Amino acid sequence: MSTDYNVFICHQGSDSKRDVVSVLKGMLNSEGITCFVDFGMNKGTDVNFAIQKAIESSLVDIVIVSAKFTSSHSCLDEVHKIMTKQNTTSTPRKVIPVYYDVEPSMDMDMATLKRSTDDQTKSWTEALKALQKLKGFEYKTETAFEWEELSNIVLEVKAFLISHDIIPSNHAESTWKMDMNPYYGSVFLSHNKMDTQRNAVSVFRGILGSRGITCKVLDYEKERDQMKLDVEKAIRNSTVHVIFLSENFVKCKDCLEEVDKIMNVHSTKTPFEVKILPVFYNVAPSVVRHQLKGSDYDFINVERSTDVERKRWAEALNRLSHLMGFEYNTETIYLYWMKATTLGGGREQEKQ
């Protein structure tokens, strides 16, 4: 059986497009599962027609119900079309609701929206209530590890498509492994867990794992039962070091010590032996470089530290900020950009 798209993702853009939707689409695509999301279309494309055709052809519809979802005419129209298709076709199809920072039991009754009729509101409400009866997933951004959580959805999609002979049962090999760069051995990842562990780091680590690349992350909460990581040995034996320089990075003494150790390794090896990739996560390279008073990188933010330690950390961060890396702004960049940047492409930092 052929189809233009295996999966259609219905979502409210400002709530989820740059984060969970971007990652989920990338994960599905990496498994060879075709997936429609309304970004990345060619200029001049009739968006409404493309969405209509994608809904008609998709065999799995993932509906990301978020805070603003029920205030969006387009989302409500899409849900209505999805549930109508589900009830009027003999073709095996599956609808998967994902409750993104909302409760599955949320009240689906709604007042008539602006520029909508009572009949539209009635049909939308019926579609949403039908959606609520289906088995789905809850996703809480405060507790979810993004890659691990979304992997459960990907597995369910794969199982359905395999069971209906849409994709072959041996379709388990990630397409990422096929183009793995032999340069990358093991990767050491430095980050402040309060800023990035559950989102960017989780995704980054998952992508590397899908490529068969070992990723060493200190105190990764999903692996607390594993042996404590020997940081110095891990840094020394890794061929790549990725450092997420986030807003609260300098509040973490362990993070600063990791940077110092990494830069010491960098000074004793050639660029062919070790690679360091700074990721400026919602922080400009100039902030990391100059560490001005009152900025996020003012070392007054580091509690119980000595002048000697602060000088050492400041020098390490200054050297790090002069390495070519990547700027990551969560308000403008799709999270799945991580795949491109960490393995050779993506948006490099501007010289400042």
Cα angle 269, 275, 279 (rounded to 5 degrees) comes to 135
Is 124 found in the same domain as 221?
A: no
The residue ranking higher by pLDDT, 297 or 116, is 297
Is 135 found in the same domain as 197?
A: no
Helix (H) or strand (E) holding 18: none
CA distances from 296 to 108, 183, 199 (A): 42, 34, 20
Distance CA 104, CA 108 (A): 10
Q: What are the start-end ranges of the E strands in 17-163?
A: 35-36, 60-65, 94-100, 137-139
Phi, psi of 10 (to 5 degrees): -95, 130
User: Which one of 135, 163, 191 terminates a domain?
Assistant: 163
Q: Does 173 reside within a domain? A: no
User: Which one of 163, 186, 201 terminates a domain?
Assistant: 163
Is 26 found in the same domain as 107?
A: yes
The whole-number pLDDT of residue 340 equals 44
Distance CA 198, CA 291 (A): 26
Domain count, the chain: 2
For 44, the domain range is 7-163
Q: What is the pLDDT of residues 266-316, one digit of tens each?
A: 999 887 889 999 999 999 999 999 999 999 999 988 888 999 999 999 999
Is 327 found in the same domain as 236?
A: yes
Q: Does 1 reside within a domain? A: no
Is 99 found in the same domain as 247?
A: no
pLDDT mean over 223-251: 85
Phi, psi of 208 (to 5 degrees): -60, -45
What CATH code is carried by the domain that includes residue 130? Answer: 3.40.50.10140
Q: What is the pLDDT of residues 128-154, one digit of tens each?
A: 999 999 999 999 999 999 999 999 999
What three-state secondary structure class fits 36?
Answer: strand
Is 97 found in the same domain as 42?
A: yes
Distance CA 6, CA 350 (A): 38
Is 134 found in the same domain as 239?
A: no
pLDDT mean over 101-120: 85
